[in-house]
Amino acid sequence: MAGRSAGERHRALFGTGPAPGDRLRLFCFPYAGGNAAAYRGLRAAAPTGLGVYPVELPGRGRRIREAPHTAMASLVASLADDLQGALDRPYALLGHSLGGLIAYELAVELRERGAPPPAHLFLSAIAAPQWPRTGRPLHRADEAEVRAALLAMGGTPPELLANEEIMALALPVLRADHSVLETYRYRPRPPLPLPVTVFGGSADEVAPPEVLGGWREHSDRPVAIRLFPGGHFFLTTAPAEVMRGIAHGLGLLRPAR
């Protein structure tokens, strides 16, 4: 989005400019193939004072005419540029699956630029970056393999996978997003000086609970791990429960006794 004003960048990212009355902002990054709509339920459950801003990545939604990124470095650098004007008050980052890795790398990038740090980092359904990622790369797989992998993850209704028109639009974005994930190479950096909460699904086979503890290496504060019932896409099936976890992490609600 080079050459655009801050307002134009924010409208592309969020659909609107950040509200000036926000007490705190939460920027949300989607899973591979996902778009801003994935956070509709979370946004509806947000408490007063918390502005929830699902970030629309290139190649989907209102940015469908833009080419999607295929590498983590270019994606994160672009996001850091575009979010600059929205970091004028306390904020947090949330990412689900691939979005969690994006959120972590963005927090590192912002630190390296000397930008205001997040008040909290929420990482959902994603193994720590040093965890080895195995399996056949989907960004090079044939269409049948991609559809089978999506069906196994459980986040895409079978009727959508069978719709040729929808898949013709979705496959290029899916391949690009999986390229971001599958070509990612972790570089050890000092732990982040901020609180981190890791969310997981108790029945998640993509990022099972036992791989979430590795995130403790990436913060110099205590790292909380919270599990929710469900598989890899618990975020969309239990948004109110996840939002309560976010609100607690941000100090907006007292933990239930």
Catalytic member of 74, 97, 179, 202: 97
Give, to the nearest 10 degrees, the angle between helix 164-182 and helix 143-153.
Answer: 80
Q: How far apart are CA 11 and CA 5, in angstroms?
A: 10
Q: How far is CA 15 from CA 29, 47, 201, in A?
A: 14, 20, 30
- Supply 148's token pair: 């089978």
Say if CB 53 and CB 30 are below 8 A apart.
no
Closest CA to 25 of 54, 50, 55, 60: 50
| DSSP notation for 5-71 | -HHHHHHHHHSSPPPTT-SEEEEEEPPTT--GGGGHHHHHTPPTTEEEEEPPPTTSGGGTTSPPP-S
Q: How far apart are CA 128 and CA 212, in angstroms?
A: 6
Q: What is the separation of C-alpha 177 from the centre of its chain, rounded to a whole number of angstroms?
A: 12
- Side-chain half-sphere exposure of 226, counting CA atoms within 13 A: 19
Q: How far apart are CA 138 and CA 248, in angstroms?
A: 36
Count of CB atoms within 10 A of residue 198's CB? 28
Active site residue 97: yes
φ, ψ of residue 115 in degrees (nearest 5): -80, 160
Q: Catalytic site residues?
A: 97
